[in-house]
Amino acid sequence: MGFIKKFFANTRKPQGFLGKLMVGGMNKGHAKCADWGMEHIGSLTPAAILDCGCGGGRNIKALLEKFPDAVGWGLDYSEISVEKTREVNKATIERGRCNVVQGDVSALPFDENSFNLVTAFETVYFWPDIENCFRQVFRVLRPGGLFLIVNESDGTDAMGEKWEKMIDGMKLYKGEELIGHLKNAGFADVDMNCKADKHWLAVCGRRP
């Protein structure tokens, strides 16, 4: 495997030295898209937030700044990502407002009805059996809770297709595909927003 391909393979599960470089880059590189996606949370004021695939920890930090009365959890199956998220959120962890765990979205280690808001930034590309993962998210959401998916690729852009070919295990989704999977998992009030000039995609669904 060439160096470039090996480096970007860490997008899926950051590991080792290259993984540490990757998670640091994620925090800066995806920030604008993530902030745009958070605009679609709407009027919800969550008390408990879960960020699945928390990567470098920047987004759970931003969410806790946006919702100062909330408690947040970050979850990632990469040890490197968990370490970075804990580092970035050290102050809020010490204040008891943030928790970070290593785990898999296909078997979320949380009780039913645990969160008002679950987010997934730049991560569903790598979720195996995506409808099972969506059912896990549905399970841990409280009734009326929101699931927000934010992707930098809407599945129609040439750059996204390039990354899909380069990174093993990556699958791009069009908005309509994500909507279908969410409905099959039980979500209602499913909505999609696109930033056409950037090919950014935000898809939301609620647990009835």
User: Domain-by-domain residue ranges, the chain?
Assistant: 31-38+45-206
- The neighbouring-strand residues paired with 191 are 204
- Residue 22 — very low, low, confident or very high, per pLDDT cuts 50/70/90? low
* Residues 20-44, mean pLDDT to the nearest whole number: 81
Burial class, 39, CB count within 10 angstroms (exposed 0-12 / middle 13-18 / buried 19+): exposed
pLDDT, tens digit (0-9, with 9 covering 90-100), for 76-120: 999 989 999 999 999 999 999 999 999 999 999 999 999 999 999
Amino acid at 85: T
Size (the chain), residues: 208
Pairing label, strands 115-121, 48-52: parallel
Three-state DSSP class for residue 147:
strand
Other Cβ atoms less than 10 A from the Cβ of 71: the count is 16
Q: Under CATH, to which class is 31-38+45-206 assigned?
A: alpha beta
